[in-house]
Amino acid sequence: MRELIISDKEDIAQIIDTLESMPMTRKYGKAVVARIPYAKEVDYPAAIYIRVSSAKQATKGKGSLPEQFDTVWNATINKGGQIVAVYADVCTAANRDRQAFNILLKDLRDGQFTMLGCWHSSRLVRTQLAAGELEEAVEKLKTKVHMFAVADTLDADILGVLAWAGRWERKAFRERSLMGRQAAATENRTPSGKPPFWIKTIKDESKKIVGYELKPVAKWIKWAAEAYVSGIGSTEIVRRMNQEGVPRATGRTKYGWTRQYLNQVLKYTALKGKWGPFWDVYIDVPPLVDEATWDAIQEKIQENATYTGRPAKHFVALRGLMWCSVCGQKMGTHVRDWDYVYHTLKDGTRQRYRIKKEKLKIRHVCNGQQHYGKSCRRPEYIRDAIIFDRVWDRLSEALSNHDILIAGLQSQIKALEKQDELEELLSINSRLEKLHQRELSYAEQRAEGTLSKAIQKELVLRLQQEQKELLEAQSQLQSKAEQITQARNQLASAEVLIDQLPDILPQIQRSDKEKLIMALISRIDVDADNQVTITLCLHPDVLANLPTHQQGASPQQESQSSDDSQQELSDNSIDEMAALQHEVNAARYTRNTDYKPD
């Protein structure tokens, strides 16, 4: 969200340019608030709200932002208002996080304007919750706010009715649109969206799609599919695609082709000429491979996904926390409980075998260095035993600092308190109470005979819809309020434990160290010399569960460790060790190929 200063009506171009330069986010869309300063206080301050649902609607077509702005501006001037602010949103009306609309509500509560205009009432409110918030803000003001819509009627007394009607209209439009897309798919016409990026649509003079053709990039997609099924590895295919500068669906991205993206493309049914599915219906497009080849690709993808030669999955405390500070990529963790041995056969050739090991080998590697050719450090791998001790030393140093821990906990509570969840929760509770009183009022009017049964049923249905939305919003905010209350209650006990930490830390065992690392560290940055910087995530409830002097060894199995982070098996059962040794001996004579001994 951005704020601008404009001077007159001609500055709408500045608002549009600012919106076009902003990225469209999935949660908030994008928004601009433009304010018009005056040398002295105005007599009749007014505000304008304009909104479109998508970026495509912002500048073209009926109801675009320039059209809304021009129409509402003229209407406001004709009504005697002096415009002090323009609020513009690019997102759906059902979005509760409309940034410009939320700022409008705040300015309305502060009494910054007494007139509010929009192009159509559906631009301003289209849900019961938004209508309730606007109605509540208007009721709390001492001065009356004049609201109007150019294309229809807008009044504070009928906000709930307008929101209900808008919701019904949106639901009906969605159903009709869905029926139209389904009918188009059954007739082998494009129902919606764009085909895969290697396919181009052919349109006639009326912009109607009449066919499809392949783009030049299609030859590389075909080569990748045929190379993959012929046995060429995905790493080699990706390297060749990046070397030749083959674009992805969104053009040439920062990291180009990756194995994950290649795997995604090879799963498209459009490769065999079937684009979809659209409600179990496929659209015919030009194929790149025949169906037998496509089936072979899917079998190979499934085979690679279940390949038994991948590293075994074991618990590693640092997994998912480490980032490379040289290239900014996340660091992966490689764990395996096997190794290779080489034997010379009778004919003189050397053969490689895979055998089980009693210790785990854990190493960390930068994804940028492994996948994208970065040169972040030498050697490429970092042993877990080395990096774990460095991380623990950093954490111990931080936990021994009383002032830093207390300041961190207090700042977290203050940050939670500054958020407006509690205020919004109170507002929702007040709104629910009003709805309950209104429902009782309808029942009294029905008993007195002033309301018919049909009208009461319709009014109660609207109240129930609004209550449902408010209860959903209330449940989402309850968790945040509970966090603040718990943090306050546990801060005192956490302070006592923090004073004891310097004496407790030397006695903590490996398993407890791992728990603390996962609970208290949100990020570990590793530089080129493998030195670490940690980011703490302090929670009073975590500190309250720290081990004390009276705690013994952890009841859970202690994490496996060694000088190379090769973790030893902890179970000393003779029977299990004998069974494990049998598996080791059997693995010695199992080649790492498709060959299996009798």
Please give, one letter per residue, the 3-state secondary structure of 511-563: HHHHHHHHHHEEEEEECCCCCEEEEECCCHHHHHCCCCCCCCCCCCCCCCCCC
Give the global pTM. 0.40
CATH of the domain at 268: 3.90.1750.20
Q: Are 217 and 241 within one domain?
A: yes
Q: What is the pLDDT of residue 413?
A: 65
Could you tell me if residue 481 is inside a domain?
A: no
Strands of 381-383's sheet in order across: 331-344, 350-366, 381-383
Residue range 574-589: mean pLDDT, rounded = 44
Q: Are 315 and 300 within one domain?
A: no
Domain extent, residue 299, equals 199-305
- The better pLDDT of the pair 546, 23 is held by 23
Task: Assess contact for 263 and 234: CB atoms under 8 A.
Answer: yes
Helix axes 259-266, 234-243, angle to 10 degrees: 100
Task: Assess contact for 530 and 553: CB atoms under 8 A.
Answer: no
Alpha-helical (H) ranges within 84-158 are: 99-109, 121-124, 128-140
Q: Are 123 and 50 within one domain?
A: yes
117 confidence band (pLDDT: 50, 70, 90): very high
Q: Are 149 and 53 within one domain?
A: yes
Q: Are 44 and 129 within one domain?
A: yes
Q: Are 89 and 164 within one domain?
A: yes
Q: Which of 487, 598, 480 lies closest to 539 in space, CA to CA?
A: 487
CATH of the domain at 54: 3.40.50.1390
How many domains does the chain divide into?
A: 3
Could you tell me if residue 153 is inside a domain?
A: yes
Q: In whole angstroms, what separates CA 342 from the centre of its chain?
A: 47
Could you tell me if residue 160 is inside a domain?
A: yes
- Tell me the per-residue pLDDT of 56-87, one tens digit each, with 9 for 90 and over: 888 877 888 989 999 999 999 999 999 999 99
- Tell me the per-residue pLDDT of 143-188, one tens digit each, with 9 for 90 and over: 888 889 888 877 766 666 666 666 666 667 667 777 777 777 777 7
Task: Assess contact for 446 and 459: CB atoms under 8 A.
Answer: no
Q: Are 275 and 403 within one domain?
A: no
Q: Which of 68, 52, 54, 145 lies closest to 107 in space, CA to CA?
A: 145
Residue type, 358: E
Phi and psi at residue 116, in whole multiples of 5°? -130, 125
Could you tell me if residue 10 is inside a domain?
A: yes
Which of 270, 305, 340 lies at the terminal end of a domain, its last residue? 305
- What average pLDDT does the structure give for the chain? 78
Could you tell me if residue 439 is inside a domain?
A: no
Which of 305, 338, 354 lies at the terminal end of a domain, its last residue? 305
| Residue 593: pLDDT over 60 | no
Cα–Cα dist 461/161, whole Å: 12
Query: What proportion of the chain, given as a percentage, has pLDDT over 90?
Result: 20
Query: What proportion of the chain, given as a percentage, has pLDDT over 70?
Result: 77
- Tell me the per-residue pLDDT of 300-354, one tens digit each, with 9 for 90 and over: 888 877 654 444 467 888 888 899 999 888 998 888 888 888 888 888 888 888 8
Q: Are 282 and 331 within one domain?
A: no
Q: Which of 93, 95, 89 lies closest to 26 in space, CA to CA?
A: 95
Token representation of residue 522: 């949100």
Which of 118, 153, 171 lies at the terminal end of a domain, its last residue? 171
Q: Are 502 and 577 within one domain?
A: yes
Please give, one letter per residue, the 3-state secondary structure of 274-304: EEEEECCEEEECCCCCCHHHHHHHHHHHHHH
Q: Are 380 and 520 within one domain?
A: yes
Q: Are 326 and 214 within one domain?
A: no
Could you tell me if residue 178 is inside a domain?
A: no
Could you tell me if residue 209 is inside a domain?
A: yes
Could you tell me if residue 126 is inside a domain?
A: yes
Q: Are 18 and 94 within one domain?
A: yes
